Each structure stands twice: as C-alpha cells, then as structure tokens.
Amino acid sequence: MRPLDDVRILALEQFGAGPYASVHLADLGADVIKIEDPRSLGDVGRYVPPFQEGEDSLFFETFNRNKRSMSLNMTNTSGRQVFEDLVRHSDVVFSNLRGDVPEKIKITYDDLKDINPAIVCCSLSGFGMTGPLRNEPGYDYIFQGAAGWMELTGDPDGPPTKSGLSLVDFSGGLVAAIAILAGLHSARRDGVGMDCDVSLFDTALSMLTYPATWYLNGGLLSQRTRHSAHPSIVPFQAFESADGWIVVACAKEKFWQRLCEALDDAQLAYDERFNSFSARSRNKDILLSILNEKFLAMGSSDLITRLKEFGVPCGSVNTLAEALEEPQTLARDMIATTQHPRFGEVRQVVSPVNVGPDKGPYRRAPLRNEDGQDILVNLLGYDDTVIEELREAGAFDA
C-alpha cells in the first residue's frame, strides 16, 4: 500500500495552487475526487493554453494526475445531497476558493460536522477566512507584490521583478498539504475534525523569513543585489564565465579557502580584507572585482569541474531544457510518462515527496466527470433509479 491509500479527499479546486496541493497527496495514494462545477465546465485549468484542445490541456495534466473527476452542481438541492453523502465517505474537504466562500457554500467544519464529525475542512484562499481582505480574489503575481517579494527581486537598478515561477501558489499548495496531513492525524487520533485556514498571503509573508526578522528587530530593509547575490554572505552568487553563468556558494569559511585554492590564489584566503565573513562583506566590491576577472578567464564547464574537484559548492545556470535533461533529474525518477487519449504520451515532472521504496504508479488526469458513475455506484451505492432521479433534478448539470 502507498502511504495515503486509506485517505479520501473531496477537492473543490481549480487552476494552480489548490490542484498543486492535492496532486502530491494523490501521488502518495490518496483518492482525490475533484468536484467540478458543470456551470463553469469544470476546472478552469482545463482551458489554459498552450497545448489546449476541447476540455483538455497540458496545464491541467500537470496538476491533476492520479485524481478522479465528478461533475456536481452544489447549488442544486439534489447536488448538495450527493455532496453530503460523499462527505460521509471521506476524510477531507479541500477547497481553494475566496476566503469568504467556504462559509457561503457551507463547507466549513461547523457545516459538515453533523454529517461526519471527523471531517477535516481545509480552505486554501488568497487572504484567508478572516481579516479585511477575506472576500477579495488573489493570484500569485499579486502576492509576490503585496508581500514584498518583487521589491527584493531583480537588478538593483531595474523594476520590481517577480519570480519566473508561481512560487506563492506552489508554496501555498505545499502548506495546504501539510495542514491537511496534520488535520488528518489529529482527527484520526481524537475522532474530531476541524477547519484548516491556509492563506497564500500568509504563506508569502512567512517566506520572508530572516529579512523580516532583520527588519522587525533592527529596522534593516534588505536591498536587491547584483547577480542574485546573497544579502550577507560573500561570495555567494552568480558569476559570469567566458561562455555563460555559474553559481558559487561559499556558505562556510572552508569553502572560501577551497575556492581560493581552486583559483590558484591560496593567499587570497588569508588577505585581511577577506579572511572572515564580515571582512568579505565589508570589502565585497574589491573582492568581487578580483573574482569576476578570474571567472571570466575560464569557461563554465572547466570552472565547475575544477571547483568541484576542490569541494567548492557550485553549479551551472541551466536552461529549462538542460535542467530537465540533467542526469540527476533522471536518476531521481523526477519525470513520469502517462498516456492521454488526446495528447498521446505525456511526460511531466512529479512530486519530490519520496516516502517508501517506490514512486508511482502515475495515471493521467481525468476527463471531466470521467469517474462520476463509478463514484455514484461503487462508493455511494446508488442504483440506476436514484441516479436518474438525481440527474432529472439537476444534480449533475448546469
């Protein structure tokens, strides 16, 4: 058995952050049932280009492998009845909706505890279920700006810059997955469920970490740095070589000494201007000028080979293609292949969570309502008559 084979999650999720949270749990064996609203033709991620046809997209495939799909109109009385029956057979109700919506559509713990006292209700929203912004929508770009990330990112003379990835969405998804697992542990121990209130804004703020501590306790406002340099450790940044860029990270004194040896300048390590973290920080402009000249004299491949021979932490600045083709990527089984009726063979990166000896197996993302009949019959035990009555009452349609 996989670690979460005995867990069932009802996921009212869409787009990126929510599905990213539950796909890790699905990869670990959880039965994640996507409740897709037929009024909006399901998860909006189905319609994100490029590589989008009909109700399928590679964007959707990325976040929804190993899940099941059921169309359900929860604003309909009969649809709500089906949802409540699903709650009786589930462990978690997970949503990524606006912070005020879980109460409005009655999917909080107070709403569902009489149906299933051990149900864990996890909400992943933009600003959380409390506070003055709870009813505002929010997206990754907004949080990268609002939480100060963009002000800290980019060249010192350039505009505020976002990350090349939706890191708030993805980090928020991981936080939600942690919250779900913690809630499950508590519910199974005590027999009582709860609400888990996860906010993307909170997540982005929490990831300010030590720059926030520096400001809150000493009034220090961190500044952008050239070449993605660490704010206080030198050298710890990207360096340009004769034919590209590499990253060097001297996070310990021994690495600084090894770097000097690798660059055939062992005495540099003991120069009083550079012989400690604080000295190098004070004299970083002088030091970086010396190092830049040395790095520009060698090609990236030769540099990395030599630095690694001396035990200096370093790496290449890869393109996306190079990162996906790295031998380490392949050795760690980080790319899986599934078969899709529209796209054929689909390759994608998978969850980095390794629990137990094996990863997988992996199943393609579901077509909309692909599993509806199976769920109604084999999970809920409805017969054909009941299903037809629910269909006629509008439980599964817009």
Per-residue pLDDT for the chain (398 aa), expressed as one digit of tens each? Answer: 899 999 999 999 999 999 999 999 999 999 999 999 999 999 999 999 999 999 999 999 999 999 999 999 999 999 999 999 999 999 999 999 999 999 999 999 999 999 999 999 999 999 999 999 999 999 999 999 999 999 999 999 999 999 999 999 999 999 999 999 999 999 999 999 999 999 999 999 999 999 999 999 999 999 999 999 999 999 999 999 999 999 999 999 999 999 999 999 999 999 999 999 999 999 999 999 999 999 999 999 999 999 999 999 999 999 999 999 999 999 999 999 999 999 999 999 999 999 988 787 899 999 999 999 999 999 999 999 999 999 999 999 87
CB 23 within 8 A of CB 66: yes
Residues 64 and 194 both lie in one domain: yes
Same domain, 159 and 61: yes
Based on the domain organization, do 34 and 159 belong to the same domain?
Answer: yes
Rounded CA-CA distance 259/267 in Å is 11
213: in domain: no
Task: Tell me the residue range of the domain where 244 lies.
Answer: 226-317
Domain end (from 282, 317, 352): 317
Handedness of CA 274, 277, 281, 287 (dihedral sign): positive
Looking at the structure, do residues 65 and 201 belong to the same domain, yes or no? yes
What is the domain count for the chain? Answer: 2
In a domain, 146, yes or no: yes
Contact 22, 32 (CB under 8 A): yes
Query: Which residue among 288, 317, 346 closes a domain?
Result: 317
Q: Check if the beta carbon of residue 74 is closer than 8 Å to that of residue 97.
A: no
- Asked if residue 66 is part of any domain, the answer here is yes
Which CATH number belongs to the domain containing residue 38 in this structure? 3.40.50.10540
Residues 61 and 156 in one domain: yes
User: How far is the C-alpha of 257 from the C-alpha of 260, rounded, in Å?
Assistant: 5
Q: Active-site residue among 31, 169, 195, 197?
A: 169
> Is 357 among the domain residues?
yes
Give the number of other Cβ atoms within 10 Å of residue 325's Cβ: 12
Is 37 an active-site residue? no
Is 112 in contact with 85 (CB distance < 8 Å)?
Answer: no
Same domain, 120 and 248: no
56 near 340, Cβ under 8 Å? yes
Q: Please give the single-letter amino acid code of residue 37.
A: D
Is residue 15 located within the same domain as residue 160? yes
Distance, CA of 390 to CA of 396 (rounded, Å): 8
Query: DSSP letters along 29-78, please?
Result: T-EEEEEE-GGGTS-GGGG-SSSEETTEEHHHHHHHTT-EEEE--TTSHH
For residues 237 and 365, membership in a common domain is answered with no
pTM: 0.94
CATH number at residue 298: 3.30.1540.10
Residue 322 counted as domain residue: no
Is the CB of residue 56 less than 8 Å from the CB of residue 367? yes
Q: Is the domain of 255 the same as that of 124?
A: no
DSSP classification of residue 163 = -
